[in-house]
Amino acid sequence: MTNISMRSVSKFFDGGDIIANYELDLEVEDGEFLVFLGPSGCGKTTALRMIAGLETPSDGEIYFDDDRVDDMPPADRNVAMVFQNYALYPHMSVRENIEYPLKVRGVPPEERDERVAEIAELLHIEDQLDSDPASISGGQRQRTSLARAIIREPSVFLLDEPLSNLDAKLRLEMRSELKRLQNELDITTVYVTHNQEEAMSMGDRIAVMNEGTIRQVAEPEELYRRPKTAWVAQFIGSPPMNLLEGTNRDGTIRVDDENSVPAARETTSADVSVGFRPEDAAVTTTEPDTDWRLRGTVKTVEPLGEYVLVNVDVGDTTVNAKVDRTDVESGQQVFLSVDPDDVYLYDGDGELVA
Amino acid sequence: MSSTDLFEGGFGADVDWEKTKAILIFMAPGLTLFGIFSVGPMVYSAWGSFYVWDAFTVQQFVGLDQWVATFTDDAIINWSNLASFTYPMGALPQNLIWMVIHVPLSTVLGLGLALLFADLRGRRILRSMVFLGFTTPTVVIGLVLLFVYDPQAGVFNEILRTIGLEGQVRNWLQEPQIAIYALIAGGVWVQTGFSMLVYSSALAGIDPSLLESARIDGAGPFRRFKDVIWPLVKPVTAVVVIMSTIWVIRIFAIVYAAGGPSGGPNGVFSVLGLEVYQAAFSIPIEYGKAMVIALVELIITLPMAWYIARMD
């Protein structure tokens, strides 16, 4: 059982011209499922590769428990990794692929067969063992790749966008399968994805990354409820949080000529952003009896079955509201109202005003 | 199945004549060229090898006489020298020795350099430098070898002097028992460029995550090579080996440039190509013999060409 600790880990490429990661500080608890979430090119894969040992940090230290590992080759770290494209050896059968890590480590054939059978049953690929990786389905390849990763009981389990090559239905299925596996095996897991639904549903905690740094590490619920920065707020949620820039004067925030709202919390910052989640907004045609309302014009109405998405122009910004049902139409003057408890305030630096 | 079924299903009934016509029309230019420049000469030499020639005019049928004469000719196979492994052994054994040394060496060197250059900074320049040997005309290579092995001005002997092997200094291309190996080294230099290039592109085609995965699985450099790289470049190896075998069997210009039409002193590094040239174009003109030797070359290379043609 292992906990991972990254201390001010940075990674530069091309002699410092490209900064892939900058001063990452992160603790992953023993048995935890941690997700690196961020847009493409944010450095999450590089961070994972440093934990794996495929990249060496330019700066900083990585510990597995009390052992410093950043100078160790991957083989000595006892990590297992699942790659986005599965990285199955095309010239080996499914069985040979799965047993390869054991073979390299000199485990005798009888024991290998036993373990392969065990793992194949756990992952429901018993019938594919003698097939070629090229002749099995994407989901089965994924399972093979997982089987190869867990067969030698690694102390750290690393997954790099493992579900992104699967179709939507299979992705859902594998998501719960992965979560089940991780619970059963109780291995410290780091999972990289750009898909926030995956991150929210699987992660014990999520590290949100952008531009090579970790913006916030939190449990899914907290990440959604209390995004620490405006950037995280606009990244999490689908559609993400509405943010309106405004100027703060004496506790009143002026959003545009028509709209001013009371500041929910005190801040000395003059340039601020107010935010609220689309699902917390109500759309009405008559002026509601609350200070916290915005006047705007309906741009489009998108009925999505489960809910209706109303896009409203407020000043220069388009604001989303998720409502159960609505009669408003495009071009109509409407009011958006939000419970002040559901309003977020970010200062000029984009930090949440607590 | 009755005979009528056989007739109807097997032949005539379902042939799409329109399509057949189109296929024939499209194939005609290629087949014509193939016929004139490949099949024609082959058949012509096969036929001609059974006749006596007066210069370029065919005389009378002699059966296998030319074949027997060729295989007992010391320039082609010197049976007594062959038994004691002393040069000259004749063009055919010498050509085969060339093949046996050249092919594995150039293949292994090419793969080695490709692996070495794969992750190296400046690999493009290095690759171009090695490949330059393959692009250089082989006549030039032969001439360069003359300079390299020259006893006075040659680089190779100069190196021997510098590292204190003064006693080894000699005119390498004039020493009967070693001249051929000195030339083979030149041939290897040429062919290595080719096999390196082919292996480089094969290596570039290997998904890097496979090697990373093997690293994580605990495989060291040797195991990664043995378990992942080698099986994936194996198909390419067949191409490299066959191409260089064919190249060696047809080798001519290097030998001619380095040793003249006789193939070195007493023909110590003569090869089949040189003997074809000698028989066909130097007095006395022995056209039938030239055809026999050329056919021997063809017989050696044909199965390999066949193998390549059948590869996926």
Nearest to A89 among B218, B220, B228 (CB): B228
Q: What distance in Å separates residue B229's CA from the closest CA in chain A?
A: 10
Tell whether B241 is within 8 A of chain A (Cβ): no
Nearest to B210 among A80, A81, A87 (CB): A87
Phi-psi region of A16 (alpha: psi -120 to 50; beta: other; left: phi over 0): left
Residues of A in contact with B210 (CB under 8 A): 87, 89-90
What is the number of helices (H) and of strands (E) in chain A?
Answer: 8, 20
In degrees and rounded to multiples of 5, residue B181 shows phi and psi of -70, -35
Which of B121, B213, B223, B230 to probe the A interface (max A CBs under 10 A)? Answer: B213
Q: Closest by alpha carbon to B257, among B157, B173, B152, B133?
A: B173
pLDDT category at B35 given cuts 50, 70, 90 is very high
Number of residues in chain B = 312
Q: Which helix (H) or strand (E) holds A50?
A: helix A44-52
d(CA A143, CA A202): 17
Q: Which helix (H) or strand (E) holds B22?
A: helix B17-34
Inter-chain residue contact A74 with B213, CB threshold 8 Å: no
Residues of B in contact with A74 (CB under 8 A): 212, 215-216
Q: Which amino acid is at B174?
A: Q
Tell whether A79 is within 8 A of chain B (Cβ): yes
Burial of A315 (0-12, 13-18, 19+ CB in 10 A): middle
With beta carbons less than 8 A apart as the criterion, state whether A312 and A296 touch: yes
d(CA B281, CA A328): 98
Interface of A with B in 97-116 (CB under 8 A): 100-101, 104-105
With beta carbons less than 8 A apart as the criterion, state whether B143 and B110 touch: no
Which of B211, B216, B226, B227 to probe the A interface (max A CBs under 10 A)? Answer: B216
Inter-chain residue contact B216 with A52, CB threshold 8 Å: yes
Interface of A with B in 34-63 (CB under 8 A): 52-54
Nearest to A89 among B210, B218, B220 (CB): B210
Inter-chain residue contact A89 with B207, CB threshold 8 Å: no
Tell me, what's the pLDDT at B172? 84
In degrees and rounded to multiples of 5, residue B142 shows phi and psi of -60, -45
Inter-chain residue contact A75 with B217, CB threshold 8 Å: yes
d(CA B55, CA B39): 23
Coil, helix or strand for A240? coil
Q: Which amino acid is at A267?
A: T
Nearest to A87 among B207, B218, B227 (CB): B207
Tell me, what's the pLDDT at A33? 94
Q: Which residue of B has its CA nearest to A90?
A: B232
Inter-chain residue contact B207 with A101, CB threshold 8 Å: no
Tell me, what's the pLDDT at A131? 92
d(CA B256, CA B272): 11
Q: pLDDT averaged over consecutive 10-residue blocks of chain A (354 residues)?
A: 89 87 91 93 92 92 92 90 92 94 92 92 90 91 91 90 86 87 89 92 93 92 92 89 88 82 77 91 89 90 92 91 90 91 88 82
Inter-chain residue contact A81 with B219, CB threshold 8 Å: no
Tell me, what's the pLDDT at B6? 47
d(CA A177, CA B190): 56
Tell me, what's the pLDDT at B2? 45
Q: What distance in Å separates residue A5's CA from the closest CA in chain B?
A: 19
Nearest to B216 among A80, A89, A91 (CB): A80
Q: Residue B289, CB half-sphere, CA atoms under 13 Å: how many? A: 25
Summary mean pLDDT of chain B = 86
Q: Closest by alpha carbon to A86, among A101, A97, A78?
A: A97
Tell whether B221 is within 8 A of chain A (Cβ): no
Inter-chain residue contact B217 with A100, CB threshold 8 Å: yes
d(CA B91, CA B100): 14
With beta carbons less than 8 A apart as the criterion, state whether A145 and A88 touch: yes
Inter-chain residue contact A81 with B207, CB threshold 8 Å: no
d(CA B244, CA B95): 13
Coil, helix or strand for A206? strand
Inter-chain residue contact A54 with B216, CB threshold 8 Å: yes
Taken in order of first residue, the domains within chain A and their CATH numbers are: 4-230 (3.40.50.300), 231-346 (2.40.50.140)
**CB contacts < 8 A (A, B):** 55
d(CA B51, CA B65): 9
Q: Count other C-beta atoms under 10 Å from residue A281's C-beta.
A: 22
**Which residues of chain B form beta strands (DSSP E)?**
51-54, 57-61
With beta carbons less than 8 A apart as the criterion, state whether A281 and A336 touch: yes
Tell me how far apart the 2 most distant CA atoms of chain A are, in Å: 78
ipTM: 0.82
pLDDT in tens, B177-191: 888 898 898 889 888
- Give the CA distances from residue A137 to residues A124, A141, A164, A172, B33, in Å, rounded to whole numbers and listed in that order: 13, 6, 14, 16, 47
Tell whether B219 is within 8 A of chain A (Cβ): yes
pLDDT in tens, B49-58: 888 887 778 7
With beta carbons less than 8 A apart as the criterion, state whether B180 and B90 touch: no
Inter-chain residue contact A75 with B210, CB threshold 8 Å: no
Tell whether B231 is within 8 A of chain A (Cβ): yes
Tell me, what's the pLDDT at B11? 54
Greater model confidence, B13 or A216: A216
pLDDT category at B13 given cuts 50, 70, 90 is low
d(CA B253, CA B163): 32
User: What is the fold of B69-310?
Assistant: MetI-like fold (1.10.3720)
Q: Which helix (H) or strand (E) holds A247?
A: strand A242-249
Tokens of B20: 């057949």
Contacts (Cβ under 8 Å, ≥6 apart) of B153: B147
Interface of A with B in 174-213 (CB under 8 A): none
Residues of A in contact with B218 (CB under 8 A): 75, 101, 104-105
Domain span(s) for CATH 1.10.3720.10 in chain B: 69-310
Inter-chain residue contact A81 with B220, CB threshold 8 Å: no
Interface of A with B in 263-322 (CB under 8 A): none
Q: What distance in Å separates residue A230's CA from the closest CA in chain B?
A: 36
Tell whether B206 is within 8 A of chain A (Cβ): no
Tell me, what's the pLDDT at A2? 87
